[in-house]
């Protein structure tokens, strides 16, 4: 006989009859248990009709059988709150159990008393809990520790008034490590909900806790490691000592232990200057321990990979990773492939770029459309990020476009737009390749990019005019962004080729001003129209439309990939939350979980200022290597490691100035944003850029800085279906 | 930590439910059923692709509540948390729970998942869970306190979960407990009573009880390696690594202290003074080894010795990675040529590189073909080959494939015209070109070259121990891009 047939919903009256019959027998135990099993089944199946059985079940408590008592208690916990008056009858039994010699029964009693939310139960629990915290059996002490957090959850004020927290604190010095670590977990649950309470640990105690790590089971290790982040080291030596003490835990088989160990190692690294130089193996060990977690099931891999991204963004110098380990497997789930691509992008540098490009090419030709598109996008981002890689990337892109597969061509068009902006004039051959395939393009984004490229870079007069005529024939039905792009492109063509471009320019402007209902498109068309018909343009000594050319045929501002950086404040908090849910979303913790408590680094004499990375380290790297003045910094890794301590060379400074002056113009940045707000404070000249913008997005510099962060979190939201509501 | 835990069957009916904390109600289970299970069922019904749910991320956050879930066989295990909780603990807990249930209900250990782990026999299903719902319910009460996992060791559970006790006679469960029955036969009976608990709590190591006794003391050590290779069509290795595990089974009395060591050429990396440049060609370099909780990690960090007091029964002592100096067992050279636009010709050459005395068992070469094959014509120098239209694969099988041999398969497949016409894909056949894969198993061969040099057992009783050491290499994902 198996329990399967007991797993059904039943009625209270049926069960009561069965129970009565069972109790008539001289040895009722086994029959009673069967009834109780049915009761448990109904609890699992969430059947609320069993409340009337409460008095019958309470009576069962007097049968001296642990199993019966345990199952009955579960019933009381579940249905007791529904009828407080009846449930009260059970209390005398439990007070008696508390005195029982069996530790199991004592644990059961205090667990039940503290869990039932009725007032009577809670009052009793508060009265007895202190005694049980000092029980001579460790299992009972452990259970009682959790009961304190339960009581705290139900009535925090009373718990504080009764100084239960102090009692828990005393348990931290228990001689049984299981009790200690579980008390830490209990305290953790209290501090995470209460805003005013925080856990503080002194040095002696943190070292004592570490000594428990060896004998503790994996969960206890997690709780101990986690609690170490409550200790604020006062000197760098202390922090180093703790880092070394946590290192062995990186070898643990459980991903929870490893991630928590990484969390506290990274935390303590905040209190040491250049920890990776003091412990040379540190970055290797952190790297390999992360990589080895990739043999875990997909869900855990996903979590690990998201944390790898986090560490790469904020703590590049602390982890040493091989890009090959993040190449996608054929059967990886999409969410893993996605995250791996992001990591490949972050890890690519001038040393490994060749293998990265080969790998991405492989993905791009895959039949899976979304993967292939992402790979192509990665080409674009890479060539913007790494000057040295641009040539190779563009060549691969041209090959791909040459195959004439529609979605590849479309995605490549979008990507090429960014590359051409970054390296004007350098890749004119790519323009030719793309424009040969223009007929395949029908998606708005791709069309917008194509139109912009034609307007900006195509020198072949006949072809440009043909393409633009083709694409504008359907002007009124096009989506907004395509209309914008067309407006700009026809104006440019007119300026370049006054006679041949005139008719299409007139057509488009006419449609836009007379037939389109959207006021933004109309206004924009008017601006162009007025500009072209300005007196200064037509008369005077300058050439044809001199002023308009100055404004419209201007070269666009540079773009760069330095918007990879998430705000250091956010990174700092996320690093304190390695392995948590927020690390999956890579968003400020409070944005994801409104109620969660803010974590931040506590200042101490040893706290190191956070080094804010300057723009584009990889390009600097590349240039340095190319100019042969690498200063003996053999490979890129060394370079990375030394960077914080080195006085910054002049080049990064200037490039930073550049990039900050660009921050207003993110419309062609590698990521595509869709917000459309026009800035009023920009002058005419910079206004040109906004008019020219393909996506017409204007963001303040803050928004730009978080660009990558947004992309990441948006991706996480997409793949995790998180509803983005209020934020 | 966990606020609640639910287990659902394939249709979304509840098999297990447990509320650990305030803040969630039982009916929150409906949210998960509607948001995830139903939608994934619909997707797999309507879409041709079975793997749609497989592509969904394993975390769903709505407001402050997160649903963190895994699938095991035909059931869903879903943990519900509030606010920002440690996701790594939750996932680790779900997987530990899965393997614990498998161990108890099926008698198989997740650790040695051989090739047959996919078959239905070894998966959790609703019948199995509902047949044992009382016990599972009880286990869930024991392993988690107030949402925090506390102890998931089977040995610990055997003392507190009544339905797991070997002495249970009143109820006959549908459960097999191999380790239990074996222990009953080979060991003197262990006194398990309610009060024995007290002594256990004081035992220094939480994973081993005192007073275990065996008549015959044995220790089994299995080195199992899974080799993962990715080659391009020219036979160059693009990526190669080995996931190795060392599994142990101990039947030892008392509180034995074990120590073991690898051959001299083995180097366990992660030491503080490592420098990869001065490592010898012949060295076996094990990277980032991870150990079972019983291994004294600080001792390992100090002098690289692996010292442990093993838990009773089966467990995974360590796992490791190896990325350099791998002994490649097979080299494969595929040649695929397109003849016209409706014909493909294959020539696959497989060469074995290990010692000629060893055989690889159950070798299978899976050669993908495009869909819509009309006719296939295969010939091979050895083994058996067959075209499987349902999987679009040519499968080439060997019962035994000895070392230092080379075999060739040639094949020609005719394709329907429909697959070729009408699209301008890069390859003229509308074909994803999945990689060619290889499955095999080689006993007494470790592709990392790892050897166990000694294994010492020390105990106060000073008894003799019989020791068994076994090596085995499996193929993980052994792939060749075409």
The answer to whether A592 faces chain B, any CB pair under 8 Å, is yes
Q: What is the DSSP letter of B255?
A: S
Residue B68 · residue B94 · CB < 8 Å: yes
Higher pLDDT pick, B186 / A421: A421
Tell me whether domains B218-327+445-480 and B330-443 share a fold. yes
Average pLDDT value for chain A: 79
Domain ranges, ordered by start, for chain B: 2-202, 218-327+445-480, 330-443
Over range A468-481, report the average pLDDT: 86
In a mutational test of the A interface, the residue from B128, B255, B293, B303 whose CB has the highest number of chain A CBs within 10 Å is B293
**Residue by residue, what is the 3-state secondary structure of A428-478?**
HHHHHHHHHCHHHCCCHHHHHHHHHHHHHHCCCHHHHHHHHHHHHCCHHHC
Residue A659 · residue A653 · CB < 8 Å: no
Residue B201 · residue A138 · CB < 8 Å: yes
User: Which pLDDT score, from 0 to 100, does residue B47 have?
Assistant: 46
Q: Cα(A231)–Cα(A239) distance, rounded to whole angstroms?
A: 10
pLDDT in tens, B209-233: 777 888 888 899 899 999 988 888 8
| Nearest CB neighbour to B287, from listed A253, A255, A288 | A288
| Nearest CB neighbour to B292, from listed A33, A178, A253 | A253
User: Which pLDDT score, from 0 to 100, does residue A658 have?
Assistant: 32
How many CB atoms lie under 10 A from the CB of residue B327?
A: 15
The answer to whether B30 faces chain A, any CB pair under 8 Å, is no
Q: Cα(A523)–Cα(A274) distance, rounded to whole angstroms?
A: 56
User: Could A253 and B133 be called an inter-chain contact, meaning their C-beta atoms sit closer than 8 Å?
Assistant: no
User: Which pLDDT score, from 0 to 100, does residue B44 have?
Assistant: 64
Q: What is the DSSP letter of B119?
A: S
User: Which pLDDT score, from 0 to 100, does residue A304 have?
Assistant: 95
| Nearest CB neighbour to B83, from listed A219, A596, A720 | A596
Listed in sequence order, the residues at least 6 apart from A197 whose beta carbon sits closer than 8 Å to its beta carbon are A165, A190, A191
Structure tokens at A627: 């100019």
User: Which pLDDT score, from 0 to 100, does residue B417 have?
Assistant: 62
Q: Cα(A307)–Cα(A93) distance, rounded to whole angstroms?
A: 50
Question: For residue A711, what pLDDT band results from cuts at 50, 70 and 90?
Answer: low
Q: Cα(B130)–Cα(A8) distance, rounded to whole angstroms?
A: 10
Average pLDDT value for chain B: 78
User: Which pLDDT score, from 0 to 100, does residue A213 have?
Assistant: 83
User: Which pLDDT score, from 0 to 100, does residue B68 have?
Assistant: 93
Over range A661-687, report the average pLDDT: 32
pLDDT at B204 over 80: no
User: Which pLDDT score, from 0 to 100, does residue A652 have?
Assistant: 32
pLDDT in tens, B52-80: 445 678 899 888 899 999 988 889 999 99
What is the per-residue DSSP string for A102-168? -HHHHHHHHHHHHHS-SHHHHHHHHHHHHHHHT-SSHHHHHHHHHHHHHHHHH-HHHHHHTTHHHHH
User: Which pLDDT score, from 0 to 100, does residue A94 have?
Assistant: 92
Helix H or strand E segment including A505: helix A498-510
Burial A437-458 (b: 16+ CB within 10 A, else e): bbebbebbbbbbbbbbbbbbbb
Higher pLDDT pick, A627 / A464: A464
User: Which pLDDT score, from 0 to 100, does residue B179 have?
Assistant: 39
Higher pLDDT pick, A716 / A22: A22
- Among A359-373, A623-637, B276-290, which is the least confidently predicted range? A623-637
Q: Cα(B143)–Cα(B149) distance, rounded to whole angstroms?
A: 6
pLDDT at B419 over 50: no
How many CB atoms lie under 10 A from the CB of residue B419?
A: 18
> Which residues in chain B are contacts of A405 at CB distance < 8 A?
424-426
Strand locations in B275-358 (E): 284-291, 306-308, 313-322, 330-339, 343-352
Over range A203-222, report the average pLDDT: 85
CA A26 to chain centre: 62
Over range B397-425, report the average pLDDT: 76
Over range A22-39, report the average pLDDT: 87
Pairing mode, strands B266-268 and B284-291: parallel
Conformation bin of residue B12: beta by default, left when phi > 0, alpha when psi is -120 to 50: left
Listed in sequence order, the residues at least 6 apart from B391 whose beta carbon sits closer than 8 Å to its beta carbon are none
Question: Would you report the helix, strand and coil content of chain B in percent, each value rounded to 5?
Answer: 25, 40, 35
pLDDT at A651 over 80: no
Question: For residue A259, what pLDDT band results from cuts at 50, 70 and 90?
Answer: very high
User: Which pLDDT score, from 0 to 100, does residue B171 have?
Assistant: 36
- Residues of chain B numbered 102-121 and touching chain A (CB < 8 Å): none
Question: For residue A635, what pLDDT band results from cuts at 50, 70 and 90?
Answer: very low
pLDDT at B183 over 50: no
Helix H or strand E segment including A60: helix A54-60
pLDDT at B7 over 90: yes
Q: Cα(B258)–Cα(A297) distance, rounded to whole angstroms?
A: 30
User: Which pLDDT score, from 0 to 100, does residue A276 have?
Assistant: 87
Is 3.60.20.10 the CATH number for B2-202? Answer: no
| Nearest CB neighbour to A153, from listed B22, B86, B424 | B22
User: Could A581 and B81 be called an inter-chain contact, meaning their C-beta atoms sit closer than 8 Å?
Assistant: yes
Over range B355-368, report the average pLDDT: 90
User: Which pLDDT score, from 0 to 100, does residue A613 have?
Assistant: 53
| Nearest CB neighbour to A281, from listed B170, B204, B272 | B272
- Give the residues across from B350 on adjacent strands: B332, B407
User: Which pLDDT score, from 0 to 100, does residue A311 have?
Assistant: 93
pLDDT at A615 over 50: no
pLDDT at B168 over 70: no
User: Could B148 and A581 be called an inter-chain contact, meaning their C-beta atoms sit closer than 8 Å?
Assistant: no
User: Which pLDDT score, from 0 to 100, does residue B97 have?
Assistant: 93
> Which residues in chain A are contacts of B206 at CB distance < 8 A?
178, 215-217, 220
User: Could A219 and B149 be called an inter-chain contact, meaning their C-beta atoms sit closer than 8 Å?
Assistant: yes
User: Which pLDDT score, from 0 to 100, does residue B197 have?
Assistant: 38
pLDDT in tens, A379-400: 988 888 888 888 999 999 998 8
How many CB atoms lie under 10 A from the CB of residue B331?
A: 16
Question: For residue B96, what pLDDT band results from cuts at 50, 70 and 90?
Answer: very high
User: Could B432 and A45 be called an inter-chain contact, meaning their C-beta atoms sit closer than 8 Å?
Assistant: no
User: Could B424 and A66 be called an inter-chain contact, meaning their C-beta atoms sit closer than 8 Å?
Assistant: no
CA B433 to chain centre: 27
Class of domain B330-443: mainly beta
Listed in sequence order, the residues at least 6 apart from A5 whose beta carbon sits closer than 8 Å to its beta carbon are none
User: Which pLDDT score, from 0 to 100, does residue B370 have?
Assistant: 84
Over range A209-225, report the average pLDDT: 87
pLDDT at A29 over 80: yes
Over range B281-298, report the average pLDDT: 77
End-to-end, the C-alpha distance of chain B in Å comes to 47
Q: Where does B218-327+445-480 sit in CATH, by number?
A: 2.60.40.1170
pLDDT at A582 over 80: yes
Residue of A nearest to B145 (CA): A146
User: Could B61 and A592 be called an inter-chain contact, meaning their C-beta atoms sit closer than 8 Å?
Assistant: yes
User: Could A3 and B435 be called an inter-chain contact, meaning their C-beta atoms sit closer than 8 Å?
Assistant: no
> Which residues in chain A are contacts of B15 at CB distance < 8 A?
44
pLDDT at A696 over 50: no
pLDDT in tens, A274-301: 888 888 889 988 998 898 888 889 999 9
- Cβ pairs A/B, distance under 8 A: 305
- Residues of chain B numbered 375-414 and touching chain A (CB < 8 Å): none
The answer to whether B198 faces chain A, any CB pair under 8 Å, is yes
- Among A44-53, B413-422, B470-479, which is the least confidently predicted range? B413-422
User: Which pLDDT score, from 0 to 100, does residue A689 have?
Assistant: 36
Over range A473-497, report the average pLDDT: 88
Q: Cα(A281)–Cα(A277) distance, rounded to whole angstroms?
A: 9
Q: Which whole-number Å values give the CA distances from A406 to A437, A440, A672, in the listed order?
A: 9, 5, 20
User: Could B162 and A252 be called an inter-chain contact, meaning their C-beta atoms sit closer than 8 Å?
Assistant: no
pLDDT at B190 over 50: no
What is the per-residue DSSP string for A344-388? HHHH--TTTHHHHHHHHHHHHTSS-HHHHHHHHHHHHHHHHH-GG
Question: For residue B281, what pLDDT band results from cuts at 50, 70 and 90?
Answer: low
The answer to whether A192 faces chain B, any CB pair under 8 Å, is yes
What is the per-residue DSSP string for A523-572? HHHHHHHHHHT-HHHHSSSS-TTHHHHHHHSPPPPP--SGGGPPPHHHHH
The answer to whether A2 faces chain B, any CB pair under 8 Å, is yes
User: Which pLDDT score, from 0 to 100, does residue A257 have?
Assistant: 93
User: Which pLDDT score, from 0 to 100, does residue A255 have?
Assistant: 92
User: Could B146 and A149 be called an inter-chain contact, meaning their C-beta atoms sit closer than 8 Å?
Assistant: yes
User: Could B55 and A581 be called an inter-chain contact, meaning their C-beta atoms sit closer than 8 Å?
Assistant: no
The answer to whether A204 faces chain B, any CB pair under 8 Å, is no
Helix and strand totals (H; E) in chain A:
41, 0
- Residues of chain A numbered 443-472 and touching chain B (CB < 8 Å): none
The answer to whether A579 faces chain B, any CB pair under 8 Å, is yes
Over range A82-89, report the average pLDDT: 88
User: Could B206 and A592 be called an inter-chain contact, meaning their C-beta atoms sit closer than 8 Å?
Assistant: no
């Amino acid at each position: 006989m198996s329990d399967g047939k007991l797993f059904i919903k039943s009625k209270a009256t049926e069960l009561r009859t069965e129970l009565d019959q069972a109790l008539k027998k001289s040895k009722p135990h086994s029959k009673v248990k069967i009834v109780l099993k049915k009761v448990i089944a109904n609890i699992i199946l969430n059947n609320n009709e069993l409340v009337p059985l409460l008095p019958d079940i309470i009576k069962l408590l007097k049968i001296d059988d642990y199993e019966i008592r345990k199952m009955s208690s579960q019933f009381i916990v579940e249905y007791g709150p529904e009828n407080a008056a009846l449930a009260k009858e059970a209390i005398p039994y439990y007070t008696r159990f508390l005195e029982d010699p069996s530790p199991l029964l004592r644990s059961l009693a205090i667990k039940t008393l503290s869990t039932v939310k009725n007032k009577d139960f809670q009052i009793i629990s508060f009265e007895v809990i202190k005694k049980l915290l000092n029980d001579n059996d460790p299992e009972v002490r452990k259970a009682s520790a959790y009961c304190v957090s339960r009581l705290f959850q139900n009535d925090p004020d009373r718990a504080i008034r009764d100084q239960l927290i102090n009692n828990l604190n005393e348990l931290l010095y228990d001689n049984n490590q299981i009790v200690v670590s579980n008390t830490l977990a209990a305290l953790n649950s209290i501090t995470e909900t209460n805003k005013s309470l925080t856990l503080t640990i002194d040095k002696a105690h943190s070292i004592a806790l570490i000594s428990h790590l060896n004998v503790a089971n994996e969960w206890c290790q997690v709780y101990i490691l986690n609690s170490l982040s409550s200790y604020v080291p006062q000197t760098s030596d202390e922090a180093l000592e703790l880092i070394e003490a946590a290192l062995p835990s990186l070898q643990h088989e459980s991903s929870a232990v490893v991630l928590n160990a990484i969390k506290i190692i990274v935390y303590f690294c905040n209190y040491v200057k250049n920890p990776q130089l003091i412990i040379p193996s540190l970055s290797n060990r952190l790297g390999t321990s992360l990589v080895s977690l990739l043999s875990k099931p997909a869900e855990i891999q996903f979590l690990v990979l998201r944390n790898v991204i986090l560490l790469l963004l904020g703590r590049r110098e602390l982890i040493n990773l091989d890009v090959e380990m993040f190449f996608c497997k054929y059967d990886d789930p999409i969410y893993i492939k996605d995250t791996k691509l992001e990591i490949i992008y972050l890890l690519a540098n001038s040393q490994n770029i060749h293998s990265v490009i080969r790998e991405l090419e492989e993905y791009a030709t895959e039949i899976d459309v979304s993967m292939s598109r992402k790979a192509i996008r990665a080409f674009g981002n890479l060539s913007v990020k790494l000057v040295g890689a641009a040539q190779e990337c563009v060549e691969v892109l041209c090959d791909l476009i040459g195959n004439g597969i529609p979605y590849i061509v479309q995605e490549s068009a979008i990507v090429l737009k960014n590359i051409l902006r970054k390296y004007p004039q350098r890749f004119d051959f790519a323009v030719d390749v793309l424009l040969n395939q223009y007929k395949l393009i029908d998606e708005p984004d791709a069309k917008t990019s194509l139109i912009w490229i034609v307007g900006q870079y195509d020198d072949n007069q006949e072809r440009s005019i043909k393409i633009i005529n083709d694409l504008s024939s359907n002007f009124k039905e096009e989506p907004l962004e395509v209309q914008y792009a067309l407006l700009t492109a026809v104006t440019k063509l007119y300026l370049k080729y006054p006679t041949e471009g005139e008719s299409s320019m007139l057509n488009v402007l006419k449609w836009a001003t007379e037939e389109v209902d959207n006021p933004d498109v109309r206004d924009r068309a008017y601006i162009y129209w007025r500009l072209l018909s300005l007196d200064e343009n037509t008369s005077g000594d300058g050439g044809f439309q001199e002023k308009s050319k100055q404004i419209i045929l201007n070269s666009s501002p540079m773009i760069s990939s330095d918007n990879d950086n998430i705000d250091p404040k956010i990174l700092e908090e996320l690093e304190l939350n390695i392995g948590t849910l927020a690390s999956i979303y890579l968003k400020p913790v409070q944005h994801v979980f409104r109620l969660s408590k803010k974590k931040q680094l506590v200042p101490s004499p040893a706290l190191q200022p956070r080094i804010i990375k300057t723009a584009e380290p990889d390009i600097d790297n590349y240039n340095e290597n190319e100019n042969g003045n690498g200063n003996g910094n053999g490979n890129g890794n060394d370079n990375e490691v030394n960077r914080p301590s080195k006085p910054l060379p002049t080049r990064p400074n200037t490039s930073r100035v550049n990039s900050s002056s660009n921050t207003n113009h993110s419309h062609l940045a590698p990521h595509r944003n869709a917000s459309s707000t026009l800035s009023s404070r920009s002058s005419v000249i910079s206004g040109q850029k906004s008019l020219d913008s393909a996506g017409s997005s204007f963001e303040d510099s803050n928004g730009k800085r978080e660009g990558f962060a947004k992309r990441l979190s948006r991706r996480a939201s997409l793949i995790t279906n998180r509803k983005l509501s209020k934020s | 930590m966990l606020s609640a835990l639910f287990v659902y069957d394939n249709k979304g009916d509840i098999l297990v439910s447990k509320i650990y904390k305030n803040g969630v109600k039982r009916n929150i289970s409906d949210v998960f059923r509607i948001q995830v299970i139903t939608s994934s069922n619909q997707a797999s019904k309507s879409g041709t692709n079975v793997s749609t749910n497989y592509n969904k991320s394993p975390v769903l956050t709505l407001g402050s509540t997160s649903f963190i879930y895994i699938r095991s066989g035909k059931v869903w295990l879903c943990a519900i948390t509030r606010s920002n909780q440690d996701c790594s603990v939750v996932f680790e807990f779900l997987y530990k729970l899965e393997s614990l249930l498998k161990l108890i209900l099926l008698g198989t250990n997740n650790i040695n998942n051989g090739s047959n782990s996919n078959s239905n026999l070894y998966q959790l299903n609703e019948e199995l869970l509902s047949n044992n719902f009382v016990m599972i319910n009880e286990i869930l009460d024991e392993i988690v306190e107030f949402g925090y996992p506390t102890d998931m060791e089977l040995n610990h559970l055997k003392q507190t979960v009544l339905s797991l006790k070997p002495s249970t006679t009143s109820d006959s469960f549908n459960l097999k407990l191999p380790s239990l029955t074996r222990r009953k036969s080979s060991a003197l009976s262990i006194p398990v009573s309610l009060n024995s608990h007290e002594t256990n709590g004081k035992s220094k190591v939480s994973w081993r009880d005192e007073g275990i006794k065996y008549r015959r003391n044995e220790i089994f050590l299995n080195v199992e390696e899974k080799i993962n290779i990715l080659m391009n069509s020219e036979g160059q290795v693009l990526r190669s690594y080995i996931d190795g595990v060392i599994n142990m089974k101990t039947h030892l009395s008392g509180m034995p202290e074990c120590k073991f060591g690898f051959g001299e050429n083995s180097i366990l990396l992660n030491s503080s003074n490592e420098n990869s440049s001065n490592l010898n060609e012949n060295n076996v370099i094990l990277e980032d080894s991870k150990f079972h909780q019983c291994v004294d990690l600080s001792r390992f960090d100090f002098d690289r010795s692996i010292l442990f007091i093993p838990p009773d029964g089966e467990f995974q002592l360590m796992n490791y990675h190896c990325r350099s100096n791998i002994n490649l067992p097979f080299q494969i050279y595929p040649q695929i040529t397109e003849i016209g636009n409706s014909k493909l010709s294959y020539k696959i050459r497989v060469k074995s590189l290990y010692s000629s005395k060893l055989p690889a068992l159950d070798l299978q070469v899976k050669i993908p073909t495009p869909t819509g094959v009309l006719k296939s014509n295969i010939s091979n120098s050895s083994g058996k080959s067959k075209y499987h239209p349902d999987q679009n694969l040519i499968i080439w099988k060997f019962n035994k494939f000895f070392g230092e041999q080379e075999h060739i398969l040639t094949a020609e497949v005719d394709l329907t015209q429909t697959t070729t016409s009408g699209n301008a894909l890069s390859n003229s056949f509308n074909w994803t070109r999945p990689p060619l894969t290889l499955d095999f198993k080689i006993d007494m061969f470790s592709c990392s070259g790892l050897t166990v040099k000694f294994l010492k057992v020390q105990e106060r009783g000073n008894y003799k121990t019989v020791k068994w050491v076994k090596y085995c290499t499996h193929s993980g994902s052994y792939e060749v891009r075409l």
